[in-house]
Structure 1
Amino acid sequence: MRILQTVSVKQVLTEMSKYKLLKKYKDNKQQLKKECEQLLFEMKKLDRTRKYTPAGLKSQFDKEIDIRKEKIKLIDFQIEQLDLLPLGSELNDQDVQALIDIKVGDNWEEVTKGKTIIIKDGTIIEIRER
């Protein structure tokens, strides 16, 4: 019989992976800033049409803009933390599902013990039993 098990994937921080993460964070931040600008533009455009109440319109757009500003603050924090991390640190990257073969007589605790895959610059360098 086979069961699904969650496997944690960790990434070893190297110059290359740090650069890629920093680029990803900056790209996400730039995208969120563009969305804020677009929302402001749309709010002004809809405000001119006079189809909606200005207070309701403004509060809805402000809410959406605030959500994006919070995400920007989170990205800024992540960038700060990335700068503090030494090379060689292990970062949680993602969780994946793995098929595990089990049979009668297997030790359940050993089977369900989690596994971790360690990746360095896109290459698996280690598979650990937790």
Structure 2
Amino acid sequence: MKVIRKVAIKQEVTENSKEKLKKDYEWKIFQYEQECEQLVFEQKKLEQQQTVQKKEDIAARFKKEIDSRKDHINWYKYKLEQLDLLPIGNQIHDGEIDAIVEVEEGMNWEEMQKNASIVIRDGIVVNITE
């Protein structure tokens, strides 16, 4: 029988991976800032077309969306700060994938349940633990 189990992906921190993550975080911050500006523009455009009551509803809706994006911006700024403190050689969690595992009678269930992981260094798989 085949079953699916989660496998952790870990990224080993190198100078290259730190630089790539830094660029990724900065790009996401830029994107969210652009979205905030676009939302403010759309909000003003809609408010010019509506009544006072509708303007309040529109403002509340747009505020919620803008605040959500600002939270994301703050999160990525925090991640940038933490990235600077991260020593080379450390491993960071980079997600999970599903793996298909063959289960047969007589197998040790506890051994199969142990956390499997894949370690990646600069885009290359360097270690697989099962």
Q: TM-score, normalised by structure 1?
A: 0.95
**Residue of structure 2 equivalent to 1:8:** 8
Per-residue deviation at 1:50?
2.0
Measured against aligned partners, the alpha-carbon deviations of 1:37-67 in whole angstroms (never above 9, x if no partner) come to: 0000001101111256211111111111011
* Residue 58 of structure 2 is aligned to residue 57 of structure 1: yes
Gaps of 5+ in 2: none
Q: Once the two structures are aligned, what percentage of the paired residues are identical?
A: 41
1:23 maps to a residue whose letter is: K
Aligned-residue CA RMSD (Å): 1.1
What is the aligned partner in structure 1 of residue 77 from structure 2? 76
Q: 2: CA distance between counterparts of 1:104 and 1:50?
A: 69
Residue 112 of structure 1: CA displacement?
1.5
**Which residue number corresponds to residue 125 of structure 2?**
124
Point out 4+ residue stretches in structure 1 off by more than 4 angstroms. Answer: none
Unaligned 5+ segments in structure 1 are none
Distance 1:2 1:50 in 2: 59
Q: Aligned residue pairs: how many? A: 129
The TM-score normalised by the length of structure 2 is: 0.95
Q: Which amino acid aligns with 2:102?
A: D
**SS in structure 2 of the partner of residue 103 of structure 1:** coil
Aligned to 2:78, what secondary structure does the other structure show?
Answer: helix
Q: Is 1:18 the equivalent of 2:18?
A: yes
CA distance in 2, matches of 1:106, 1:62: 55
